[in-house]
Structures are given as structure tokens and as C-alpha cells.
Amino acid sequence: MPSGGFPSKFHNKVEGIKETCRNTLLLLKCGYPHNSLNIQSAVNYLLKHQREDGGWSENPKLTIPEKIVELTTAQSITWLTADIIELLRTVGLDESEPCKKALNWLRKMQNQDGGWPMFKKDQFRGSDPDSTAQILFMMREIYGEKDAVWLKGIKLFEKFLDEVAADAEKGYYIAPNGEKRENDIYHLTHLLLSSLVDSKRRIEAGYNSNDVRINKIVHAILKSQREDGGWRPFWTPNSDPTYTMLTLKLLVWLGVINSEELRREIAIYV
């Protein structure tokens, strides 16, 4: 768009902060140079919309549907801010003041239990596992394993992983609303996968096939594959292309699938 932003999926004439960040990262992955007009315009758009506390919210011009619980226009969002930090680091702005300010805000947002909420810091509701995993392993990459934030957070991640491994073994989990659900691909992989950032850093940190819990999760993943070959998250009755692709990526990283064999298989259908 003329502003440098990309349209929101909620309104195609209004920029979305999430879409601007993720589309820009995709362009970079496709080989667009950092100094190209598209990349620079998008980064400048995001920098103009950094909130006073250092984080980013979704565009206040948007109306977010009630069913979308992970986004808000009213306050900074931890995981979205982490996405934008990844973008700033990718284009060489890791030492810039906006990036430092965002990182400082994220570090302050860590809960007493070691994790992160999606929005407002709330000790009583606990931490969001997705946001915690994403931010924690980014902090490890930036600050190292002696960092106080990492040491505090990794204990909670271990607890989350124990719980998912137990769910993988018994075949179901209890949703936040108390509903008993059959294991789906989102629940099985939400601690290990990210649709945006290279989740391989979690595997490189030791959460790989040498971990008994990961092996239990992998077994449940293979068991949950659908007849059409795909996998589905809980919010759709059908196999989801994005989650199927991410699952294949995870299985390759864990050594369950050989990447060359997968490439040959895919080539048949291209």
C-alpha cells in the first residue's frame, strides 16, 4: 500500500501490523534485498507505529473480530512485538533504539512464572505457552543461556513440554474451556513450531529426537495424520495446508523424514 504497509486480512483497505511484518519477512526469505523500496517502506511503516512502551499492537484503525483472541488494538502484543524484533534484526537494525526499546519491554513483560502473556502482564491468568516458547528461544539466541530471563523461562517451558508429552501419550488434552479434545496438530506442535520464525532454534537448543518427550510427541503427530495426508488444527474440520507444511518441516528437522526423499516425492506432483 502507499503507506508501506500491507492490507489486513480483516479489511483490505486498512494496513495490518501483523501482515506487514510477516509479508516483509516472506519477501526477505524470497531474496528481496534489505535496501529495496518494498522492504524499507514496510520497515519504516512499522517503526512509525511502535507504541510508547516499546511494543506493537494491531492497527487501531481495525476492528478485530471477537473470535480472534490473540490480537488487540488497545495494547502492545508480546508475540507480535517479537515478530517485529525478528524483522528488525534481519534487516540489520538489531542495535537500533526501536529494537532495543522493544526488547526491554519484552523482558519487563516476563511473568513471575517465567513465561509471557499475550497482552497485559497478568500473574493470575498465567502465561501463554505459544508466546512463551517464541519469545524465550529468541532471548536465548540474543542473550545466551546465562541470561536471567532464559534461566527463569526455561523451567516453565519444561513444564509445558512435560504436559504436552503426557497428552501425546494418552491421546487427548483438556482445552482451557474444560473441553476434552482429541490431540490435534496445533496442540502437539505449538511449543516446537512457529509459522514465521525459524523454529529450528528450539531443536538446536536440545529439544530434539534425543528427548523422550519429543519422541512421544512425534509418535502422536504421525498417528494424527489424516487420510488425505494432511494435519488439522482444532479450529478447522479439514486438513490445513500451512500446518501440514510446518509439520513436514518439523519432521525433517527431527530426522523422522529424509529431506531428499521428501523432495523427490514432492517433485512428482509439481
Residue 251, domain member (yes or no): no
- 9: Cβ–Cβ under 8 A, 6 or more apart, which residues? 16, 19
40 φ, ψ to 5°? -65, -40
Residue 264, domain member (yes or no): no
For residues 78 and 135, is the Cβ–Cβ distance under 8 A? yes
For 30, the 3-state DSSP assignment is coil
Residue 125: pLDDT band (50, 70, 90) is: low
Cell of 117: 502473556
Range with the poorest average pLDDT among 83-97, 103-117, 191-205, 225-239 = 191-205
User: Could you count the other beta carbons within 10 Å of the beta carbon of residue 53?
Assistant: 16
More confident residue, 193 or 118: 118
Average pLDDT over residues 239-245: 92
One-letter amino acid of 9: K
For residues 135 and 116, is the Cβ–Cβ distance under 8 A? yes
The residue range of the domain holding 29 is 1-106
Residue 28, domain member (yes or no): yes
Residue 250, domain member (yes or no): no
Best-predicted range by mean pLDDT (40-49, 183-192, 228-237) = 40-49
For residues 7 and 13, is the Cβ–Cβ distance under 8 A? yes
Q: What pLDDT, on the 0 to 100 scale, is given for residue 270?
A: 67
Q: Is the pLDDT of residue 124 over 60?
A: no
For residues 203 and 252, is the Cβ–Cβ distance under 8 A? no
Residue 14, domain member (yes or no): yes
Cell of 217: 510427541
Residue 36: pLDDT band (50, 70, 90) is: very high
User: Could you count the other beta carbons within 10 Å of the beta carbon of residue 267?
Assistant: 8
Q: What pLDDT, on the 0 to 100 scale, is given for residue 8?
A: 95
Residue 262: pLDDT band (50, 70, 90) is: confident
217 φ, ψ to 5°? -65, -45
Number of domains in the chain: 1
Contacts 24+ apart (CB under 8 A), 93-99: 93/43, 98/47, 98/50, 98/54
Give per-residue pLDDT as tens, 39-90. Answer: 999 999 999 999 999 999 999 999 999 888 889 999 999 999 999 999 999 9
Residue 200: pLDDT band (50, 70, 90) is: confident
| pTM for this entry | 0.90
Residue 264: pLDDT band (50, 70, 90) is: confident
For 7, the 3-state DSSP assignment is strand
Residue 51, domain member (yes or no): yes
Q: What pLDDT, on the 0 to 100 scale, is given for residue 101?
A: 98
- State how far the Cα of 205 lies from the Cα of 23, in Å rounded to an integer: 27
Q: Is the pLDDT of residue 216 over 60?
A: yes
Q: What pLDDT, on the 0 to 100 scale, is given for residue 48?
A: 97
Residue 46, domain member (yes or no): yes
Q: Is the pLDDT of residue 198 over 70?
A: no
CA angle 99, 64, 56 (to 5 degrees): 10
Q: Is the pLDDT of residue 27 over 80?
A: yes
Residue 267: pLDDT band (50, 70, 90) is: confident
Q: What pLDDT, on the 0 to 100 scale, is given for residue 122?
A: 62
Q: What pLDDT, on the 0 to 100 scale, is given for residue 2?
A: 95
Residue 202, domain member (yes or no): no
**Mean pLDDT score of the chain, rounded to an integer?**
92
